[in-house]
Amino acid sequence: MSDFRLYYSQTLNPQKACAVAKHLGSPVEFVRVELGKGEHKTADFTALNPNQKVPVLDIGGRTIWESNAIMCFLARFAGSDLWPQDERQVEVMRWLHWDALHFLPAAGEYYFQYVIKPMFGLGEPDKAALEKANAGFKRYGAVLNEHLKGRRYLAGDTLTIADFAVAVTLPHAKAAHIPVAEFPEIERWHDRLNELPAWREPFPALKAAA
């Protein structure tokens, strides 16, 4: 039996946590939460996370929510350099915050408009929201593209949880119409991440119905 239970849905933030868990071979039992059925709003789930959001990691009665915190915990538990213990830790924190405040709100808007809305029947894409997202993506995409020049990963030559976080929208670039092709360094970096099996297939295989 797994030591931990990782509650997830097949959406962006759980994608990060699941990818890290699979990459590290973490001792987790993956528990799918059906957002469309409102399972994240039940009393039992609210007791795990009062924010009623996934992912949540249950580690024997103690819960950790927020995907970045879960990635940090899993990496530290595994003794992995994905969460470095030297000066790179500050660099990782910098990119985690930059992503949450700047890059993800822009890139994630494309994902919401073109992937989430159709998935949950929420109507047509909002053109005004996409125009704002486009301006933000081009601005912060240029920052990221420039930073990646001459680097294998965000924090230098080694993979960290910052890479898992900042790149989370890129597997959906085609479906979400994210204009990543304008930034060759970002594409090069994402090609390297795609060499990781856990990045290509972050979620556990779903069991077929009987």
- ∠ CA 12-176-95, rounded to 5°: 45
Instruction: Give the integer Cα–Cα distance in Å for 139 and 3.
Output: 42
| Domain extent for 35 | 4-80
> Does 208 reside within a domain?
no
In a domain, 202, yes or no: no
DSSP state of 80: -
Are 141 and 177 found together in one domain? yes
Note whether 72 and 94 are same-domain residues.
Answer: no
How many separate domains does the chain show? 2
pLDDT (0 to 100) of residue 2? 66
- Residue 3 pLDDT: 81
Residue 80: predicted pLDDT: 98
Name which of 37, 76, 78 is nearest 54 in CA terms.
37
Residues 189 and 100 in one domain: yes
pLDDT for the residue 208 = 44
In a domain, 60, yes or no: yes
Last residue of a domain, one of 17, 51, 80: 80
Low-confidence ranges of the chain (pLDDT < 50): 1, 208-210
In a domain, residue 109? The reply is yes
Which CATH number covers residue 146? 1.20.1050.10
> Is residue 57 a part of any domain in this protein?
yes
Domain stops at, among 80, 112, 142? 80
CA–CA separation, 51 and 32 (whole Å): 17
Q: Using the 8-state DSSP alphabet, how is residue 177 labeled?
A: T
pLDDT score recorded for residue 207? 57
Tell me what pLDDT residue 103 has. Answer: 98
In the DSSP assignment, the letter for residue 3 is S
Q: Quick one: 180 and 115 in the same domain? A: yes
For position 61, what pLDDT does the model report? 86
Question: Burial of 104 by CB count in 10 Å (0-12 exposed, 13-18 middle, 19+ buried)?
Answer: buried
Q: Are residues 14 and 63 in the same domain?
A: yes
Residues 6+ apart with CB under 8 A from 34: 9
